[in-house]
C-alpha cells in the first residue's frame, strides 16, 4: 500500500470533505428555501412565474379542451400547444416588468388576479371577455359581498400561496440598464418566435379549434383577464371622445294629446336576470306568476335580448339603433329617455341597482330607490345598501309630484330598474312570504347546493318579481281616475342555472345559451290607455307568440305613447298592427 503524499494528508482533505458533506441541520425544505433565495435576474422570475401560472391557474381551460377533444390523442396535443402559447404570452407581457425587485407587488397582483379568475371560471363557468370584465369592474360592494365565500378564499390561497412565498424569498439582482434592456427585448422576441412557431407547426389543428370555439381565447388565464381589463379600462377613455348624436329633434306629441281628458301614466319596468321559461305565464310547470295571471296581462313568449349582461343590454334596448347598429356605432346616440323628455312628457328613472342605468338616464331626472328611505322601510326591505324591489313603490307618489307640473299635465313615463333575480345570491331577492319553493339554496357558492335548491331559490325570486309587478299594476289602477295607465315589463337578459355546466350570465352573445337571451316581456293596459291608443285586445292576444327582440322596445313605447319622431319605425313597433286607427303623429 503506497504512502499518501503529504500534500494530500487527512488534515488537508478535511476542509474539502466538510464543504461537500451536508450539515446535520440541512433539510429538504432548507435546500428549497436556499434555492429560491439565490440571486437571479428578474427575467428568470418572469419565466418561472409564467410556467407556474400556466400549470396551476388554467384548470378550466384544460378541462374544456379535454371536453372538446374527447379522446386523449386529440386533446393532449391541444393542451400542449395551449400551454406553450400561455407561457410564451405571459413571458412576453411580463418581460416589460423584468427590471428589479420593485416589480414584486405587480407580479403578485398578477398571481392573485389569475387565482380569482380561475375560481369564478371553475365555480360559475364564466369567461373573462371585455364585457364581463367591465361588468366586474362596475360591481358594487353588495354584489361583491354576494360573490365572496370560504371556497373562494381556499381556491385563491392554494394558487397564490406558493408564488407569494417564492416572490418574498427571491433575490432579484440589479443589472446595468442597457444590458437589462436588450436582454428583456431578446426575451420578448424569443417568446414571440416560439409562440409563432408552435402555432404555425400545429395550425392545421389549432386554427379550426379556435375558430369553432371562440370562448377558448377568453379562458387563457391570466392573459385574457389582463387583455379584458385593459380593454375595459381604456374603452371609457375612447368613448369619452365620442360625439353624442342627437335623435330627439322634431319630436312631437300626437293627436291623442289634443284636448285629452286624462294624461297617460306609463310604467316601464326593466327586469333583471329573468328567464322567460321560468314564468308560469309562459307555460312553466310551476306557477311562479299567479299575481300577473290574476290581472289578465299579456305575456310575449318569444323575446330575445340584445346582450347577456346589464351593461350590454340596457343601453342597447333603449337605443334607436338595432342590436347590430348599436354594436357597430362609432359615436353615442340619444336614447328613448331623451326622446320622451324632448316630447314634453314628465320622465323619471328610478333605480334599485347600485350599478345604475348604464348611462341611459344621465340626461333625464333619475333617482336611486333606496335614497331618502326612512328607517322603518329600511328595516323591512333593505339589507345594508341593498333593498328588495318593493322599495321602489314607497314614496312613489311624492317622487312623481316633484316632477314639473306642466310636464305631468301632458303625461308621465316612469322607468323602474329592478334588482330582480340578480345572482348568485338568489335567496336574497325574495321576501319570506313569497318563498313557496323550498328548500332553497342559501349560499352564493352555487356548487354547494343541489340543483333543486338552486332552482327553488331562483323561482322564489321570480315569484317576488310577480308580486312586485302585481303591486305596481294595483298602484296604476288606483290612479286610473286621474290618468290613463299602462305597464310594460321587459328583462335585460336571462340566466344559466346549470345547463351545459354554466351558471349566471355574461357569456359572449355569439355562443351564449338561449336561456341567457330568452327573456320575458309582459304588458298591462288600463281601459283608459286602450281607448286613447285605440288598441285591439284580440289583436294583441293573437300576437303573443310573435318573435320580438329588444330592438322593438324603443319603437313600441313611442307608438304606445303617441310620440312622433323621425327615428320611429312602424315595422319595429310590436303594437302598431293592433292600433285600429293611426293615432300616432306623422313620422
Four-residue CA torsion sign, 193, 196, 199, 203: negative
**Cα angle 169-172-176, degrees, rounded to a multiple of 5:** 170
Burial class (CB in 10 A: 0-12, 13-18, 19+), 71: exposed
Are 463 and 540 contained in the same domain?
yes
Please report, for the domain that includes residue 515, its CATH number: 3.40.720.10
Are 533 and 410 contained in the same domain?
yes
Q: How many whole angstroms separate alpha carbon 122 and alpha carbon 539? A: 48
15 in a structural domain: no
Percentage helix, strand, coil for the chain under 3-state DSSP, each rounded to 5: 55, 10, 35
Are 308 and 200 contained in the same domain?
no
- Note down the domain range covering 216: 26-238
Are 569 and 463 contained in the same domain?
yes
Are 221 and 269 contained in the same domain?
no
User: Is 0.85 topped by the overall pTM?
Assistant: no
Can you say how many angstroms the Cα of residue 204 is from the centroid of all Cα atoms in its chain? Answer: 34
Residues with Cβ within 8 Å of residue 263, at least 6 apart in sequence: 408, 409, 410, 411, 412, 483, 484
258 in a structural domain: no
7 in a structural domain: no
pLDDT in tens, 320-364: 999 999 999 989 999 999 999 999 999 999 999 877 899 999 999
Are 212 and 325 contained in the same domain?
no
Are 194 and 315 contained in the same domain?
no
Residue 469, CA distances (Å) to 269, 295, 488, 543 in order:
8, 10, 10, 22
Among candidate residues 182, 204, 238, the one where a domain is terminated: 238
Task: Give the per-residue pLDDT at 1.
Answer: 41
Region 122-132: mean pLDDT is 77
Residue 142 has pLDDT above 80, yes or no: no
Assign 205 a pLDDT band (cuts: 50, 70, 90). low
Which is more confident, 495 or 125? 495
Are 420 and 501 contained in the same domain?
yes
DSSP state of 387: E
The number of domains in the chain is 2
495 in a structural domain: yes
Task: Give the per-residue pLDDT at 385.
Answer: 67
Are 513 and 377 contained in the same domain?
yes
Among candidate residues 180, 204, 238, the one where a domain is terminated: 238
Are 216 and 119 contained in the same domain?
yes
CB-side neighbour CA atoms (13 Å) of 49: 34
Are 46 and 98 contained in the same domain?
yes
254 in a structural domain: no
Element (H, E) at 300: strand 298-304
Are 81 and 191 contained in the same domain?
yes
Assign 32 a pLDDT band (cuts: 50, 70, 90). confident
Q: How many whole angstroms separate alpha carbon 93 and alpha carbon 98? A: 10
Task: Give the per-residue pLDDT at 537.
Answer: 93
Among candidate residues 193, 221, 238, the one where a domain is terminated: 238
Q: Which of 207-216, 328-337, 489-498 has the lowest mean pLDDT?
A: 207-216
Assign 15 a pLDDT band (cuts: 50, 70, 90). very low
585 in a structural domain: no
Residue 434 has pLDDT above 80, yes or no: yes
Q: How many whole angstroms separate alpha carbon 227 and alpha carbon 63? A: 22
486 in a structural domain: yes
524 in a structural domain: yes
Amino acid at each position: 500500500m503506497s504512502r499518501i503524499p503529504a500534500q494530500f494528508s487527512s488534515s488537508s482533505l478535511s476542509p474539502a470533505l466538510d464543504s461537500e458533506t451536508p450539515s446535520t441541520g440541512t433539510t429538504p425544505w432548507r435546500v428549497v428555501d436556499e434555492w429560491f433565495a439565490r440571486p437571479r435576474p428578474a427575467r428568470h422570475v418572469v419565466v418561472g412565474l409564467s410556467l407556474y401560472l400556466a400549470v396551476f391557474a388554467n384548470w378550466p381551460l384544460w378541462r374544456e379542451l379535454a371536453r372538446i377533444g374527447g379522446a386523449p390523442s386529440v386533446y393532449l396535443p391541444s393542451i400542449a400547444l395551449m400551454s406553450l402559447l400561455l407561457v410564451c404570452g405571459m413571458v412576453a407581457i411580463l418581460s416589460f416588468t423584468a427590471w428589479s425587485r420593485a416589480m414584486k407587488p405587480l407580479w403578485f397582483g398578477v398571481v392573485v388576479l389569475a387565482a380569482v379568475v380561475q375560481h369564478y371560471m371553475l365555480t360559475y363557468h364564466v369567461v373573462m371577455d371585455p364585457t364581463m370584465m367591465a361588468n366586474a369592474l362596475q360591481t358594487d360592494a353588495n354584489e361583491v359581498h354576494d360573490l365572496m365565500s370560504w371556497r373562494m378564499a381556499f381556491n385563491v390561497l392554494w394558487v397564490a400561496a406558493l408564488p407569494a412565498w417564492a416572490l418574498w424569498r427571491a433575490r432579484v439582482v440589479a443589472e446595468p440598464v442597457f444590458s437589462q434592456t436588450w436582454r428583456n427585448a431578446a426575451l420578448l422576441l424569443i417568446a414571440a418566435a416560439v409562440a409563432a412557431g408552435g402555432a404555425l407547426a400545429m395550425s392545421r389543428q389549432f386554427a379550426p379549434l379556435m375558430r369553432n370555439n371562440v370562448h377558448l381565447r377568453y379562458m387563457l388565464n391570466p392573459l385574457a383577464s389582463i387583455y379584458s381589463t385593459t380593454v375595459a379600462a381604456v374603452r371609457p377613455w375612447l368613448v369619452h371622445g365620442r360625439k353624442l348624436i342627437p335623435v330627439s329633434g322634431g319630436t312631437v306629441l300626437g293627436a291623442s294629446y289634443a284636448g285629452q281628458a286624462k294624461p297617460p301614466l306609463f310604467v316601464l319596468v326593466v327586469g333583471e336576470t329573468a328567464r322567460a321559461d321560468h314564468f308560469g305565464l309562459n307555460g312553466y310547470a310551476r306557477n311562479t306568476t299567479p299575481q300577473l295571471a290574476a290581472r289578465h296581462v299579456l305575456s310575449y313568449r318569444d323575446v330575445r335580448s340584445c346582450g347577456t349582461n346589464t351593461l350590454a343590454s340596457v343601453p342597447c334596448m333603449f337605443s334607436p339603433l338595432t342590436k347590430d347598429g348599436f354594436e357597430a356605432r362609432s359615436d353615442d346616440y340619444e336614447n328613448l329617455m331623451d326622446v320622451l323628455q324632448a316630447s314634453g312628457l314628465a320622465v323619471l328613472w328610478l333605480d334599485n341597482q347600485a350599478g345604475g342605468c348604464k348611462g341611459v338616464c344621465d340626461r333625464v331626472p333619475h333617482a336611486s330607490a333606496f335614497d331618502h328611505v326612512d328607517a322603518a322601510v329600511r328595516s323591512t326591505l333593505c339589507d345594508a345598501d341593498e333593498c328588495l324591489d318593493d322599495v321602489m313603490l314607497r314614496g312613489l307618489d311624492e317622487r312623481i309630484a316633484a316632477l314639473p307640473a306642466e310636464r305631468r299635465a301632458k303625461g308621465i313615463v316612469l322607468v323602474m330598474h329592478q334588482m330582480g333575480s340578480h345572482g348568485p345570491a338568489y335567496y336574497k331577492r325574495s321576501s319570506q312570504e313569497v318563498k313557496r319553493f323550498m328548500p332553497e339554496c342559501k349560499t352564493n357558492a352555487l356548487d354547494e347546493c343541489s340543483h333543486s335548491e338552486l332552482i327553488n331559490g331562483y323561482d322564489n325570486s321570480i315569484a317576488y318579481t310577480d308580486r312586485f309587478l302585481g303591486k305596481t299594476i294595483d298602484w296604476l289602477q288606483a290612479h286610473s281616475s286621474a290618468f290613463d295607465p299602462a305597464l310594460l315589463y321587459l328583462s335585460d337578459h336571462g340566466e344559466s342555472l346549470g345547463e351545459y355546466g354554466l351558471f349566471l350570465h355574461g357569456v359572449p352573445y355569439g355562443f351564449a345559451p338561449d336561456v341567457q337571451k330568452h327573456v320575458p316581456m309582459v304588458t298591462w293596459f288600463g281601459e283608459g290607455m286602450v281607448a286613447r291608443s285605440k288598441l285591439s285586445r284580440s289583436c294583441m292576444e293573437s300576437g303573443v307568440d310573435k318573435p320580438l327582440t329588444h330592438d322593438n322596445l324603443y319603437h313600441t313605447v313611442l307608438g304606445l305613447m303617441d310620440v312622433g319622431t323621425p327615428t320611429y319605425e312602424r315595422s319595429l313597433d310590436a303594437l302598431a298592427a293592433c292600433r285600429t286607427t293611426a293615432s300616432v303623429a306623422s313620422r
